[in-house]
Amino acid sequence: MVNIIDHLIQVFLLRFLCLQMASATATYGQKESSDQNFDYMFKILIIGNSSVGKTSFLFRYADDSFTPAFVSTVGIDFKVKTIYRNDKRIKLQIWDTAGQERYRTITTAYYRGAMGFILMYDITNEESFNAVQDWSTQIKTYSWDNAQVLLVGNKCDMEDERVVSGERGRQLSEHLGFEFFEASAKDNINVKQTFERLVDIICEKMSESLDAGDPAVTGAKQGPQLTEQPAPPHQDCAC
Amino acid sequence: MIQRNEVVLSVLGNLQEATETSGLAAMTRAAQEVDKLLAPFQLPKTLCHDFPEWTGIDRMAHGLYPPDAPHDLIPLSCTGEGNMLFDAVSMLLVGNTDLSLELQVRTVVEMVLWKRYYLSGMIDSKMMLQAVRFGLCAEESEDMLNLPVAVLEAIFDADVKASCFPGSYANMWHVYALSSVLQLNIYSIYPMFNHKIRPYFNRIIRPRTWPKDSEPLTLHIMWSGELQSESAFRPNHFVALVQTSDWTFGSPDSDQRVSPIKSEELLNDDSQLSYPSLKDKYNITKRTFYRWKRQTQEHCKKSAARYEAKYFLQSCYTEGKLIPLHQFKQFFPEISRSSYYNWKHELLKTGGNFSASSSTGEISPGESTEQEAWSSPDAKEDEPDQHDSVASMFGLSLGKLDLERAQNVAHMQEAKRCLQNCIAMNASLPFRLFKRFFPGISRSTYYNWRREAMLFIRGYKTSVGSSEDSSDADKSESPKSLSPVPLNRSNTAQSRMRVCRQNHRRFRLAYMSKKQLRDAAKLHIKRSKWSLTKFKLKFPSMSPCFYWLWRSSQNCKKKKKKVVFQSAGISAPQSLDNLATETRNMEKKESQTGHPFVESTKYLKSPAVPSFNPPHSKDATQSKMPVDEQVFAVDVVALANFKAKAKLFLQQRFEEKSFPTFKEFRSYFPFTPRSTYYMWKRALHHGVSLVHG
């Protein structure tokens, strides 16, 4: 039984990836990447305005370190962190993007294939909070429809300089349909929880899609060409 | 095979672990290890000709297939993760995707171990980086052009690391590295969209090395993706292209499947084709036929208009009066405001002199590749065959030289040469004067050239004299070789035809007025013996080259002349005097190095110098020769000699496997433009000898 569920998840993952190719050529299950040193890999992006603390947040999570000095991220980079969830090794490929406006077009190129986003603002910086709406639009434009997003208000250790109340953050997150955390990379508040919650949401979404008979797979992004293509037999789905 | 897969998987695991440490050091160590482990396994040397029956045709790619690509290829549908570069290539090599992961691993290794080569050492580095810039951004945006190399390097590192995981997205640098891994050419085909950036993606990628006994095979891949609207294409994944002959038509409807692209090609080949003639051959509806026809024609018109507008703007700029938007709009109502500003911005940034300013060497890669973008063929669909392998390989744009540009380039060259001569003789030519002679040239360009020439005077080292390569004229992309005038003329003839054909009326008008001016000047010179100064005053916009040419050709008619180099003390206009002084200097220099000047000139039999007769002997009577002809000849000879030296130098260094960087080259030969250096470098890399005999 466990094996079957496993297999289903795998099939789902493959379809998930196939979906992002607009070509949507309809053969699945040819590739087995499971015989590597992880069971799943999730690509996650941290986005948000410059200096809200994206890199610090990632370093806190991946290396449990914190440097107060601000070094602007050059272009883009990622870190890998392996976690265990329900006895599965899940490799998180967490992309740290440059928040500066001039890099924005590059970073959107990396939205492809991302399954989760951490959209971050700085509770001491009104502007970064105002930009959340734009970032959310960017996600909608450039990523897969089912990508999961968490809204995070960083630097919650700096209560004295707070300008964005927790309540406003919560309201905005409800409006956008994201879950919400306030966190601090400096004091290590809610950092691990954020990532774990995001992974859980992604997993939930996965099994949801499977239960509902793959609504995601037959979803909107498939081109009309697909139906005309003689579909090769996919035995994988029968099991 | 199983063992091979296991090895690949295990080394992939090692590489993945290495991505967890920051920086590329751990990756490099791992890559070296992997390189050794994979060495025993051979990659296929030939392409697969036998595809499984179930392999389908990728219809979307089919619809996007550009008319300038080889006609006998069809896109295969393929499955995989990410953008499927490795899957597509694996399909081409073995008929399935079994090899994808290994190709991916090998590409990562290649990129890590040869990072410097790809980012800066490769002949195509700038083209590649520019492609990557465009590949990274969602839209064509000017910002991307300014993306600094440091950022690109950071992205390269991240990309390499990300490529250690399945489902990664390959960019253009992966294509280059993969070509080296396979030691095969990869012809990357890009649909007929995004014309500004298309040339960076639609090209033949050459491997870093390949077995010397044969030319590498070429495999074809194509960028495909959904059309976002009528004209917006965003590449999304790669597809494999196979020869039609290798494709066994398995299903009954295969004929129909092949039809769309075939008929589109036919439309391009021959616009006379009518619906009835196509209907019988291909199962298409009348509506489809006319839609295709309309789209094809509209597309041609649109890009021809853009092309025309762009070069019109450029020639305006070079003449020193950049027209304002409203005026531009009057001429080209169909061109958008943003295009105008984009072009204007580019012109201003590059100083408007796309060919010559590149020799200054102070510009960032972003800017200099932008010039390549300007010279890239924009309206390719006019000549479907123009994009053959050689042209694209050399990145040339011979076919698109229109004559305004040719003249501008010649003018620039002339201006630069004049300045160099003056500086070589220690005579100062202040900007104020320079400006009067060459009104189109900006102050900054003047100072760049000046600095360059000063550098040359200090750092000049003579090398041995060498021969002159006469085949050069056909290879150069613009009249950059030693004598701009004759070359310019041959281009004139060529491009005149083209201008007529393409109905570029405005260019034609501009050309006509220039020609009239030239004819008038010629007449004056032939009738009355004007001095150069007078010529300059009467015809400020004309290159003094014309003066020398006409003067000398006139003299040549009288009787066969011989050139003498010991000419001095003859009264002449000031500028002539200066040139004569240079003659002496040149001669001195030559005799010091033990290579008499006369000796090296005997190689000068290039057809590019029609008005010049090589000296046969020294004759005392020759000193009676009009000084201006000698001076002109010397001028040409001196330049030819520099060029020949530069070529020999490059060839020798190439043979010694210590090819100089442009920086080093420039320190020896500051007169040679950067583009010429790269042209020669390309030629050498492609096995063309620069020096004959």
Contact A23 B19 (CB under 8 A): no
Distance CA A230, CA B12 (A): 34
In angstroms, the separation between the Cα of residue A2 and the nearest Cα of chain B is: 24
Chain A neighbors of B145, CB-CB under 8 A: none
Tell whether A201 is within 8 A of chain B (Cβ).
Answer: no
Tell whether A14 is within 8 A of chain B (Cβ).
Answer: yes
- Using the predicted structure, report yes or no on whether residue B656 has a pLDDT greater than 80: yes
Comparing B416 with B559, which gets the higher pLDDT? B416
Rounded to the nearest angstrom, the gap between the alpha carbon of residue B67 and the centroid of all alpha carbons in its chain is: 21
Burial of A72 (0-12, 13-18, 19+ CB in 10 A): exposed
pLDDT more than 70, % of chain A: 73
Which pLDDT band holds residue B610 (cuts at 50, 70, 90)?
A: very low
Tell whether A197 is within 8 A of chain B (Cβ).
Answer: no
- Tell me which chain B residue has its CA closest to the CA of residue A37: B13
pLDDT digits (tens, 9 = 90+) for B5-26: 889 999 998 999 898 888 889 9
Tell how many helices (H) and how many strands (E) occur in chain A: 8, 6
Contact A106 B136 (CB under 8 A): yes
Q: What is the pLDDT of residue A44?
A: 95
Chain A neighbors of B161, CB-CB under 8 A: 78
In angstroms, the separation between the Cα of residue B237 and the nearest Cα of chain A is: 7
Residue in A106, A108, A230 nearest the CB of B56: A230
Chain A neighbors of B239, CB-CB under 8 A: 23
Most confident stretch, A92-101, A207-216, B171-180, B581-590: B171-180
Chain A neighbors of B151, CB-CB under 8 A: 74-75, 103, 106
Look up residue B391 and give its amino acid: A
In angstroms, the separation between the Cα of residue A166 and the nearest Cα of chain B is: 34
Lookup: tokens for A226: 């697909």
In angstroms, the separation between the Cα of residue A159 and the nearest Cα of chain B is: 33
pLDDT digits (tens, 9 = 90+) for B359-405: 333 333 333 333 333 333 333 333 333 333 333 333 333 333 445 55
Chain B neighbors of A91, CB-CB under 8 A: 16, 165
What CATH class has B4-248?
Answer: alpha beta
pLDDT digits (tens, 9 = 90+) for B410-421: 677 777 777 777
Residue in B9, B169, B225 nearest the CB of A113: B169
- Using the predicted structure, report yes or no on whether residue B570 has a pLDDT greater than 70: no
pLDDT digits (tens, 9 = 90+) for B510-522: 566 666 777 777 7
- Using the predicted structure, report yes or no on whether residue A204 has a pLDDT greater than 50: yes
Chain B neighbors of A228, CB-CB under 8 A: 59
Contact B150 A74 (CB under 8 A): yes
Burial of A233 (0-12, 13-18, 19+ CB in 10 A): exposed
Which pairs with CB-CB distance under 8 Å and at least 24 residues apart come from A65-73? A66/A185, A66/A186, A66/A188, A68/A186, A72/A98, A72/A100, A73/A97, A73/A98, A73/A99
DSSP B660: P
Tell whether A67 is within 8 A of chain B (Cβ).
Answer: no
Distance CA B154, CA A73 (A): 10
The boundaries of every CATH 3.90.70.80 domain in chain B are: 4-248
Distance CA B104, CA B108 (A): 6
In angstroms, the separation between the Cα of residue B380 and the nearest Cα of chain A is: 27
- Using the predicted structure, report yes or no on whether residue B193 has a pLDDT greater than 90: no
Distance CA A12, CA A199 (A): 16
Tell whether A33 is within 8 A of chain B (Cβ).
Answer: yes
Contact A105 B162 (CB under 8 A): no
Q: Which residue has the tokens 């004295």?
A: A160
Distance CA B151, CA B128 (A): 15
Strands, sheet with A116-122, edge to edge from the N-terminal-most edge strand: A76-85, A88-97, A40-48, A116-122, A148-154, A179-182
Q: What is the pLDDT of residue B89?
A: 93
Chain B neighbors of A75, CB-CB under 8 A: 151-152, 154-155, 158
- Using the predicted structure, report yes or no on whether residue A180 has a pLDDT greater than 90: yes
Residue in B61, B138, B143 nearest the CB of A108: B138
In angstroms, the separation between the Cα of residue B87 and the nearest Cα of chain A is: 11
Query: Mean pLDDT throughout A91-107?
Result: 86
- Using the predicted structure, report yes or no on whether residue A51 has a pLDDT greater than 80: yes
Angle between helices A191-211 and A54-63 (to 10 degrees): 90
- Tell me which chain A residue has its CA closest to the CA of residue B55: A232
Angle (CA) A54-A58-A60 rounded to 5° is: 115
Give the list of residues 6+ apart from residue A161 with CB closer than 8 angstroms, or none.
A124
- At B541 the three-state DSSP class reads coil
Query: Mean pLDDT throughout B657-679?
Result: 83
Among residues B485, B484, B468, B486, the alpha carbon closest in space to that of B604 is found at B468
Lookup: tokens for B117: 């080569």
In angstroms, the separation between the Cα of residue A86 and the nearest Cα of chain B is: 22
Chain B neighbors of A77, CB-CB under 8 A: 22, 154, 157-158
Contact A31 B97 (CB under 8 A): yes
What's the ipTM? Answer: 0.75
Q: What is the pLDDT of residue B119?
A: 92
Among residues B215, B202, B177, the alpha carbon closest in space to that of B35 is found at B177
According to DSSP, the β-strands at A148-154 and A179-182 are parallel
* Contact between residue A49 and residue B131 where contact means Cβ atoms under 8 Å apart: no
Q: What is the DSSP string of B561-615?
A: ----S--------HHHHHHHHHHHHHHHHHHHTT--HHHHHTT---TT-TT-PPP
Radius of gyration of chain A (CA): 19
Among residues B666, B631, B599, the alpha carbon closest in space to that of B458 is found at B666
What CATH class has A37-211?
Answer: alpha beta
* Contact between residue B551 and residue B565 where contact means Cβ atoms under 8 Å apart: no
Q: Which candidate in A18, A55, A80 is best for mutational testing of the B interface (most B CBs within 10 A)?
A: A80
Residue in A17, A76, A229 nearest the CB of B155: A76
Chain B neighbors of A232, CB-CB under 8 A: 54
Tell whether A32 is within 8 A of chain B (Cβ).
Answer: no
Chain A neighbors of B162, CB-CB under 8 A: 78, 93
In angstroms, the separation between the Cα of residue A148 and the nearest Cα of chain B is: 19
Residue in B137, B141, B151 nearest the CB of A74: B151
Query: Mean pLDDT throughout B615-641?
Result: 52
Query: Mean pLDDT throughout B69-97?
Result: 89
- Using the predicted structure, report yes or no on whether residue B48 has a pLDDT greater than 70: yes
Lookup: tokens for B437: 């002679």
Rounded to the nearest angstrom, the gap between the alpha carbon of residue B436 and the centroid of all alpha carbons in its chain is: 32
* Contact between residue B142 and residue B90 where contact means Cβ atoms under 8 Å apart: no
Tell whether A226 is within 8 A of chain B (Cβ).
Answer: no
Contact B236 A21 (CB under 8 A): yes
Comparing B276 with B413, which gets the higher pLDDT? B413
Comparing A117 with A98, which gets the higher pLDDT? A117
Contact B79 A18 (CB under 8 A): yes
Q: Which residue has the tokens 């179930």?
A: B54
Q: What is the DSSP string of B164-230?
A: TSTT----HHHHHHHHHHHTSEEEEE--S--TTTHHHHSEEEPPS---TTSPPPEEEEEEE--BSSS
Q: What is the pLDDT of residue B613?
A: 42
Rounded to the nearest angstrom, the gap between the alpha carbon of residue B693 and the centroid of all alpha carbons in its chain is: 28
Tell whether A18 is within 8 A of chain B (Cβ).
Answer: yes
Distance CA A224, CA A70 (A): 48
pTM of the model: 0.52
- Tell me which chain B residue has its CA closest to the CA of residue A32: B166
Chain B neighbors of A225, CB-CB under 8 A: 59-60
Residue in B9, B97, B137 nearest the CB of A106: B137
- At B535 the three-state DSSP class reads helix
Tell whether A37 is within 8 A of chain B (Cβ).
Answer: yes
Give the list of residues 6+ apart from residue B461 with CB closer than 8 angstroms, or none.
B668
Look up residue B524 and give its amino acid: H
- Tell me which chain A residue has its CA closest to the CA of residue B257: A229
In angstroms, the separation between the Cα of residue B77 and the nearest Cα of chain A is: 7
Cα dihedral: B491, B497, B500, B502 (round 10): -80
Tell whether A228 is within 8 A of chain B (Cβ).
Answer: yes
Lookup: tokens for A63: 């290396």
Which stretch of A9-13, B512-516, B619-623, B672-676 has the lowest confidence by average pLDDT? B619-623
Chain B neighbors of A78, CB-CB under 8 A: 158, 161-162
- Tell me which chain A residue has its CA closest to the CA of residue B80: A18
Look up residue B520 and give its amino acid: A
Contact A105 B60 (CB under 8 A): no
Among residues B202, B191, B187, the alpha carbon closest in space to that of B264 is found at B191
Element (H, E) at B453: helix B443-459
Lookup: tokens for B18: 């290495």
Rounded to the nearest angstrom, the gap between the alpha carbon of residue B369 and the centroid of all alpha carbons in its chain is: 9
- Tell me which chain A residue has its CA closest to the CA of residue B78: A25
Contact B155 A75 (CB under 8 A): yes
Rounded to the nearest angstrom, the gap between the alpha carbon of residue B475 and the centroid of all alpha carbons in its chain is: 11
Which pLDDT band holds residue A120 (cuts at 50, 70, 90)?
A: very high
According to DSSP, the β-strands at B237-243 and A40-48 are unpaired
- Using the predicted structure, report yes or no on whether residue B497 has a pLDDT greater than 60: no
